[in-house]
């Protein structure tokens, strides 16, 4: 019950972010890995496995890394909310509150994953998987 409620809340939050922004555009999506991506509002990052990767599927754990820094020298106290989710939406991790200068590490499995970043500040985001 709790897991289903979390999925519903995440999905509604994900959809409402796009609707409440007053824009007809969707949330910009970037590949993982991505570095130095300017975010003002929302950004989505997605990891798509290659055919070779899916043939080598294991239960091996990996680390999703998200690094946040300010887009402005004047604003060093910026922050963002981050969710890490499996692309099949069966697992949603977060929300995590991050401050600029921090690197978040989230342990994930070998499925395809995404990262949703939401910030009211102008931030620069790096997302990669080790």
Q: What is the pTM of this model?
A: 0.76
Q: How do 62-70 and 79-86 pair as beta strands? A: unpaired
Cβ count within 10 A of residue 41 = 16
pLDDT digits (tens, 9 = 90+) for 37-51: 999 999 999 987 654
Tell me, what's the pLDDT at 78? 92
Give φ, ψ of 84 to 5 degrees: -115, 125
| Residues lower than pLDDT 50 in the chain | 12, 15-24, 51-54
CA atoms within 13 A on the CB side of 93: 15
The residue with tokens 């931030």 is 123
Beta bridge partners of residue 80, listed in sequence order: 98
DSSP letter at 47 equals -
At residue 50, the pLDDT reads 54
Domains and CATH numbers, the chain: 2-129 (2.60.120.1300)
* CA 23 – CA 114 distance, rounded (Å): 22
């Amino acid at each position: 019950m709790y897991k289903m409620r979390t999925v519903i809340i995440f999905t509604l939050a994900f959809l409402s972010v796009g609707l409440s922004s007053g824009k007809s555009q969707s949330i910009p999506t970037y590949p993982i890995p991505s570095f130095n991506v300017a975010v003002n509002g929302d950004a989505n990052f997605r990891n798509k496995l290659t055919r070779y990767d899916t043939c080598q599927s294991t239960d091996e754990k990996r680390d999703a890394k998200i690094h946040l820094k300010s887009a402005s020298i004047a604003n060093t106290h910026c922050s963002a909310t981050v969710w890490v989710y499996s692309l099949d939406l069966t697992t949603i991790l977060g929300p995590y509150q991050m401050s600029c200068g921090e690197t978040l590490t989230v342990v994930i499995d070998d499925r395809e994953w995404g990262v949703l970043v939401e910030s009211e500040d102008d931030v620069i985001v790096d997302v990669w998987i080790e």
